[in-house]
Structures are given as C-alpha cells and as structure tokens.
Amino acid sequence: MGSPGRLAVLTSGGDAPGMNSAVWAIIKLAATRGIEVVGVERGYDGLIDGSFRDLTRALPDSGLAPVPGLDWLAATGGTFLGSSRCARFHSVEGRAAAGTALRRVGVDALIVIGGNGSLTGAHLLAGECEVPVIGIPASIDNDIGGTTDAIGVDTALNTIVEACDRLSDTARSHSRAFIVEVMGRNSGFLAMSAAVAVAADAVLLPEQPREEGEVVHELEMLLRRSFSAERGKPRVLILKAEGVPTPTSRLAESLLERVDDLRDVSIRTVTLGHLVRGGHPTFHDRMIAGRMALGAVNAVRDGLSDVMVSWHGGMGRRTPDPLVTIVPLAEMITETQRLRDGSSELTAMRLGLITQVRGVLAL
C-alpha cells in the first residue's frame, strides 16, 4: 500500500466513555498527516449499509481540518457516530457487504473501536477483505484480552464509586443493607475493582461460581455479624456483578427471609446498569484514548492490519510510546477466552487479590 490517503473509523458494541475522545484524536492526528477521515454511522450496521460521513474537510491552503461542529467531542461520553450490536455482521455475506462498502467509499484502512465481540468481527473482516483493519479496545467491562485497560473502564469505575458513596450515605442513615449490581455480563472486573474503593462488605463475581445456598448463608452470617451490637456497622454494602446468575431480587428476598428475626434490618437493591456506561470520560480514559489513537494512526501509516492497539498489555510489538503495543487480533481473541475461563494469569492474579481481602472487607 502507498501512503494512506483516507481512513474510516467506527464504534461498535456497547458504547464506552472515551470512544469520542479516541475518534477526535484520530481525526486530528490523521488530518495533520494529510489523511482524510470518514466516520461510519451505527457501527457494523452502518458499515454494511454504507452510512458514511466526512469527519475532515479540505482547507483552502490544501491542508485538512476536522469538519466544523466536532470540537466538543473529546470531553463527551457515548459515541456520536452511533453504535450497534450487529447480527448481520456475524455472517460471511454481511462482512462481504461491509468490505464492498469500504472499497466503494475508497478508504485505505478501517479503525474499529469496541469490545471483544467487535474486535473479533474486525479480525474476521481483516481476513476476508483487502482493506487493512486496526482495532482499539473500548468496553467498560474490561474483558478484552491482551490489554490491561480498555477505554471506558476508568470512567465506569469512578461512576460506581460515586454511586456507592451516595448509596452508603442513605444506607447509614437507616442502618440498611444494599445489594448493588454493576454491569459486566461475563466479567466481574468492575465489581472486584470497585469493592475496596467503596469499602464494600462482600463482592460476588461470575469468575468465582458458587452454589446459591452457600452464598445466601455467607451473606446471612455477614448481616448478623455486621449489625450485631458488638460490631454495630452502620451499613452493609454487597457488590454483585451482573454475570452472577442469581437474580439480585431473589438474593435479597432469600436473605430477608433468613434474617427475619433481626429487628429493624432492611435490605434494598439497586442495579446501576447503563448509568455506569454514560458520562464524561475521566482524565485516564481521555489519555489512553489519545495515546491508543496515535498508535492506531501510526499502524495505518505502517500498513499493518488485523492488529489491536494495546494499553500496557505486556505483549506484542513495541511502539515509540512505552505503554502502547501492537497485538495481533488473533492473540486478543485467545487471551479473551483465557480471561473468561480463568486460565489467564491475569484472572488468577485478580481473583487471588480479591480472595485475600474478602475477610478484610467483611470485618
């Protein structure tokens, strides 16, 4: 490939705070290198449908600049390009249509910003069409192999901390227990990372599957100890990851039945859900978005394909940025599977840490 003249960028899957910061950085970095940028609307759905919009325009002096009206992007949550969970992209026909659309619009590369499902799609597309594809990890779940951080995780954690602090204020006023469910379909990363920061009393994770009866018994003991006259805790906070199969409401009901004899104990449940996906990206998310965007634009310049830009991943090809490496998307897929099935050292390390502090949390 000669010097790239035009690249496309899309955001896919669950939105994550900092996606816009990454797109903004890509626009400015590409424009200063004389590369035009087109945005794909609604992720892979828009790619298949050929929904493109120009994100750069030519200046009278022959340079390039962002199209007007985007200067607010770096500081905003969500994704202004739109996103989708695209069933059509799962088929070879869907990806062939996407490849045709990319060729029709005349781009030299595609940058995909999204989670492990979106990046797996990017890997398949890279193998099936001639257009080079580069991935940038973004998902609040932090369940993408080969990168320590994905864009959006830090903001989500800060939102969880703020929400739990607020819930603790009201919980303490009534000596209540709260079960707070946080997102993470296949990953307990948000719950386990927030647990210490919010001084939770217990944390339930999909990576540590347990019998429902055993969990209820342990939580009953926790409530009895915590609200005893000797310990006199003002509130109990139980963090539960979405991926734990027992519904939060059932857990609360079972628990309430067990502590029926305790006077004045009440339990409330809160599902933070999508609340945690929105909001202005933190400094950290803006910073890693900008640095990974630089890695991605350089990867386009270097003619790479089928790779992901990684943050502090401890693997892959080095770049001038000491914390940014380039990891083959195939390795990202393998590492993601290992994160999930527990065979990854990272999962073992995280679970080891949380196991060590369980007793401390409960005290």
Residues that bind ligand F6P (CB under 6 A): 13-14, 85, 115, 139-141, 183-185, 242, 277
> 3-state DSSP call for residue 121?
helix
CA–CA separation, 283 and 73 (whole Å): 14
Kindly tell me which of 201 and 242 has the beta carbon lying closer to ligand F6P: 242
CA nearest to 154, candidates 135, 136, 139: 139
* In the complex, least distance from residue 245 CB atom to ligand F6P, rounded to whole angstroms: 13
Residue number of the CB closest to ligand F6P reads 14
* In the complex, least distance from residue 273 CB atom to ligand F6P, rounded to whole angstroms: 8
* In the complex, least distance from residue 115 CB atom to ligand F6P, rounded to whole angstroms: 6
Could you say which of 108, 141, 143, 149 is catalytic? 141
CA–CA separation, 143 and 30 (whole Å): 29
Kindly tell me which of 82 and 316 has the beta carbon lying closer to ligand F6P: 82
CA–CA separation, 178 and 197 (whole Å): 16
Torsion of CA 277, 54, 88, 106, to 10 degrees: -140
Kindly tell me which of 277 and 301 has the beta carbon lying closer to ligand F6P: 277
Decide: 137 and 11 in contact? Cβ < 8 Å: no
Catalytic site includes residue 141: yes
Kindly tell me which of 13 and 295 has the beta carbon lying closer to ligand F6P: 13
* In the complex, least distance from residue 333 CB atom to ligand F6P, rounded to whole angstroms: 17
CA–CA separation, 121 and 52 (whole Å): 19
Question: Please, which residues have CB within 8 angstroms of residue 18's CB and are 6 or more apart in sequence?
Answer: 138, 151, 152, 155, 281, 285, 286, 288, 289
User: Catalytic positions, please?
Assistant: 141
